[in-house]
Amino acid sequence: MFALVDCNNFYASCERVFHPSLLGKPIVVLSNNDGCVIARSNEAKALGVPMGAPAFEYAQLFKEKGIQVFSSNYELYGDMSSRVMSTLATFTPDIEVYSIDESFLKFNGFDVHFDLEAHALKMVQTVKQHTHIPVSIGLAPTKALAKVANKIAKKFPERTNSVYVIDTEEKRIKALKWTKIEDVWGIGRQHSKRLKALQIHTAYQFTQLHDDWVRKHMTVQGLRLKHDLQGVSSIDFETVQPKQSIAVTRSFETMYTAKADIAERVATFVASCGEKLRKQNSHANVVMVFLYSNFFRKDLPQHRGFITMKTPYPTNSTFELNRLVQEGLSKIYKSGISYKKAGVIVTDLTTAEAYQLGLFESENPKHVELLQTVDALNTRYGQVVKFANNDLKRRWKMKQMQLSKRHTTSWNELLEVS
């Protein structure tokens, strides 16, 4: 049996842990630069705030309805997430952390000795007690069915106590008939459009299609999903693996035209990419840079620059990566354009064990030691060492009008109780 544990309205719930007076009140959390709504409490959903709503279009509604607005505070959410996950890990040795707010848990052979539903109810309580984060749990013989069960638990919290189990054929069919096709895990906009055109409206109808049709139009991924929904476990349980690509991309708080401004921002992205690479002990073989004008400003000339470069040897040196990235930036930069977004992506990553020396060139060994020291200092003291090509005065600043405190990760921002 698999359990899918999902935190309810995770970012909104994190904010409420430290603002308990907001329990039962509508709140939303905004994306970087306070751009769009990326999390909503149930109350905010009920007031008609859609996912992804541009904040400026809804400012009036927030005010009228007394909806509390927060800027996103990833340091807080990341820390709360690891607290939830480590609590869950005490319930089973097999845990797949699927996203910041979701985990799959495997209970091999547990059903023989345990009442799994009672076990899950205990999990909900324990997570609540340890972190104050509300979670919902779906239990089923496959991952896709656990997702379905989770949706039911979340939709009917009173009747289910936030735990729902699909453990009989009757319950499986009933659940699938209840699930709309567009709500199925792995079926997005394109697939549900095509399926609806064929009068397939529920997950159950989807499972009645022929394997060949599903394989042809939805690849093997679609076929695995179908089998999973039929109760035959076909989607792998994945243990932690290093990332295959790492990206740092940002929209700018304002539009930039000068190359020097963009070069500085991009150098900062590279520094962050390098740090993430070294953290998971990987080296990049390919690095990409992109630079976009403001897509929403149809009145301005548009330009989308993108370039992919091979590194001369596998590297995680911020210096080497930046040399390439700045070279690439010169090739894609066009003057007279107002730029709104840029990013750096490293990919084709190799792990340290598979590290292959270049034939003619290799990493400057001094960089390795230097960067190790930089990382160690930054980990210990919190981003105290920066590269000279980064904006040391921090002229640019993300728009974050409603940022909450980093209560759990910064001594200076502890919650005060009076």
Partner DNA sequence: TCTGGGGTCCTAGGACCC
CB 328 within 8 A of CB 382: no
End-to-end CA distance of the chain: 46
The smaller minimum CB distance to DNA, of residues 220 and 385, is found at: 220
The smaller minimum CB distance to DNA, of residues 56 and 156, is found at: 56
The smaller minimum CB distance to DNA, of residues 73 and 119, is found at: 73
CB 163 within 8 A of CB 115: no
Residue ranges in 47-113 assigned as alpha helix (H): 55-65, 74-88, 110-113
DSSP state of 202: B
Residues near DNA, by CB under 7 A: 31-33, 35-36, 38, 52, 54, 56, 98-102, 147, 184-192, 219-221, 243-251, 253, 255, 276, 294, 296-297, 308, 340-341, 343
The smaller minimum CB distance to DNA, of residues 16 and 119, is found at: 16
What does the block give as tokens for 268?
Answer: 């900062």
Separation between Cα atoms, residue 93 and residue 314, nearest integer Å? 35
Least CB distance to DNA at residue 97 (A): 11
Least CB distance to DNA at residue 170 (A): 25
Least CB distance to DNA at residue 185 (A): 5
What does the block give as tokens for 332?
Answer: 């894609």
Least CB distance to DNA at residue 55 (A): 7
160: number of Cβ within 10 Å? 19
Q: How far from 294 is each of 328, 339, 345, CA to CA, in Å?
A: 20, 6, 20
The smaller minimum CB distance to DNA, of residues 1 and 346, is found at: 346
Separation between Cα atoms, residue 256 and residue 277, nearest integer Å? 28
∠ at Cα 413 (407, 418), nearest 5°?
Answer: 85
The smaller minimum CB distance to DNA, of residues 370 and 400, is found at: 400
Least CB distance to DNA at residue 128 (A): 19
Least CB distance to DNA at residue 254 (A): 7
What does the block give as tokens for 267?
Answer: 């150098």
Least CB distance to DNA at residue 223 (A): 8
The smaller minimum CB distance to DNA, of residues 35 and 157, is found at: 35
